[in-house]
Structure 1
Amino acid sequence: MSTSESLLALLEPEPAYGYTLKHQYDRWFGRKRPLAFGQVYSTLSRLERNGLVHQSLVEAGQGPERRLYEITPDGVTAIDSWVGTPQTPDLFATSTLYARLTVALLSGRDATQVLAGQREVHLGRMRELQALRRAASGPELLAVTYELAHLDADLKWIEQSGARLGGMAADLDGAVRDA
């Protein structure tokens, strides 16, 4: 996910301070990976340098200056473009799960154990999400159901891959010898 575009979009309804943006980002987009304050301010600095935001107010206080950021018309155009541009479908073409399974097969490690461990972790996360889904609404419901759908697709892949392991190991063994 793009941190820059997400922070920029959070500024569209109204100007905000970096502190406020960090908390809004964490609420809507950082459920599993909250954003560091340093990343917020470095991103805002880059957005300002690129003319997508500007500081509309700087307040001196006891600590560091508080800077109120506001989106520019070019920033709104950038958000329109980002939201309206479809994501490339190859996002999931290279996952660490696929890589770990392939390494297990290439190295003679137990690929069945890799799949079994991942299946258990996926099912645990799905149980957590099912509980969250019962109380979720709005964007949180979208996030939960999105993650559930991807976990479900991963589980199907895990099951299909498990059924093919014997043939895969033989195919990979031959490919390694030929290389």
Structure 2
Amino acid sequence: MSTRHVLLGLLAGGSSHGYDLKRRYDERFPQARPLAYGQVYTTLQRLVRDGLATVEGTDSDGGPERTLYRSTDEGSRELARWADEVTPPAPFVTNEIFAKVVVSILVAAAAGGDRTSDAAAYLQAQRAAHMARMRELTELKTTPGTDLSTVLSADYALAHLDADVRWMTTTATRLATLTAEVDTT
């Protein structure tokens, strides 16, 4: 997710302070990777530097001084360009789970262990972790009063976790062949 574009999107509704942008980010993207306040302010400074946002003023409301930001016309155009771009599917699938399966075969081979059972044990443990997370997300999305953003984020994560679990099941059935291939290379 592009933090700069998400912040520009949040600014599209009008001027805002960094603190308010962070709060609205957390509300709109509850299942996303957390956004630190420092990242918000650093990104806002870059948006201003690049002419995509401007400082509209400061106020303190009896507390610390807060800077008010707004999107510029160029920021609005940049946001529209980004929103219209089709996100290309990843050209290469980088999968840490697959890498760990291969590495577990290599490590077991180097140690003289049972290469297939070490990889199978890893896949079983990883599958259990995925299933636990899937139960958490299912509970979250079925909790009465859960907002639609949270439900949609959970659905997205569940679909990806389900694909991983299906891949792990398929890979587990092919471990003997994979081990033979790893042994010959």
Q: TM-score, normalised by structure 1?
A: 0.89
Q: Which amino acid aligns with 2:184?
A: G
Question: 1:116: which partner in 2?
Answer: 124
Code of the residue aligned with 1:127 in structure 2: it is: R
Matched to 1:148, the amino acid is L
Structure 2 counterpart of 1:39: 39
Task: Give the aligned partner of residue 71 of structure 1.
Answer: 71
Question: 1:64 Cα deviation (Å)?
Answer: 4.3
Report the Cα distance in structure 2 between the residues aligned to 1:53 and 1:149, rounded to whole angstroms: 36
SS in 2 for 1:70: strand
Equivalent in 168, 175, 178 of residue 178 of structure 2:
168
Partner letter of residue 114 of structure 1?
Y
Counterpart residue number, 1:103: 103
Match of 1:146 among 134, 156, 159: 156
Distance 2:135 2:67 in 1: 42
Displaced runs of 4+ in structure 1, greater than 6 A? none
**Structure 2: distance between partners of 1:92 and 1:32:** 23
Bigger relative contact order, structure 1 or 2 (CA pairs below 8 A, ≥6 apart):
2
The 10-residue stretch of structure 1 (88-97 or 121-130) with the greater mean CA deviation from structure 2: 88-97
Bigger mean CA deviation after superposition, 14-23 or 63-72 = 63-72
Seq. identity, %? 41
Where in structure 1 are there 5+ consecutive unaligned residues? none
Q: CA RMSD in A?
A: 1.9
Alignment deviations for residues 104-144 of structure 1 (CA, whole Å, 9 cap, x no partner): 12222611121111100111111111111213342222111
Counterpart of 2:165 (choices 126, 150, 155) is: 155
Alpha-carbon separation, structure 2, partners of 1:99 and 1:77: 41
Residues 31, 154 of structure 2: 8 Å contact kept: no
Name the aligned partner's letter for residue 124 of structure 1. Answer: A
Q: What corresponds to 1:27 in structure 2?
A: 27
Question: Displacement, 1:60?
Answer: 4.6
Q: Whole-Å Cα distance in 1 between the matches of residues 78 and 17 of structure 2? A: 20
